[in-house]
């Protein structure tokens, strides 16, 4: 298991659209991926859980992945959350 903490730079944070894209991409990994923000944790495979986190640009989040491809999984999630949707 490994995790990374970073600041979300995507202009509009994690709203429905990027969350949907994230779910799609997260499903391609064997690793279980979660995103934590302010005491709340969401599975990267669950759209509503991700949306409920209410993450905005500038928020600091932690991504955790557990599985054989965890390193690539974290890298991919970070790239998505840095992009502007």
Residues contributing to the site for other proteins (CB under 8 A): 12, 15-17, 20-21, 23-24, 47-48, 51-52, 54
40 φ/ψ angles, rounded to the nearest 5 degrees: -115, 145
Q: How far is the CB of 49 from other proteins (least distance, A)?
A: 8
Identity of the residue, 4 or 45, whose beta carbon is nearer to other proteins in the bound complex: 45
**Active-site residue, selected from the candidate residues 6, 10, 15, 49:** 15
Instruction: State whether the Cα torsion 8-11-73-34 is positive or negative.
Output: positive
Instruction: Identify the bridge partners of residue 36 per DSSP, sorted by sequence position.
Output: 41, 62
Q: State the first-to-last Cα distance of the chain, in angstroms, to the nearest integer.
A: 28
Establish whether 60 is a catalytic residue.
Answer: no
Nearer to other proteins, 12 or 66 (CB): 12
Q: Which residues are catalytic?
A: 15
């Amino acid at each position: 298991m490994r995790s990374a903490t970073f600041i979300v730079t995507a202009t509009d944070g994690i709203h429905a659209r990027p969350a949907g894209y994230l779910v799609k991409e997260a499903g391609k990994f064997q690793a279980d991926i979660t995103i934590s923000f302010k005491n709340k944790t969401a599975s990267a495979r669950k759209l509503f859980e991700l949306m409920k986190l209410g993450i905005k640009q500038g928020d600091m989040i932690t991504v955790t992945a557990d599985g054989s491809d965890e390193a690539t999984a974290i890298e991919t999630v970070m790239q998505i959350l840095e992009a502007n949707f």
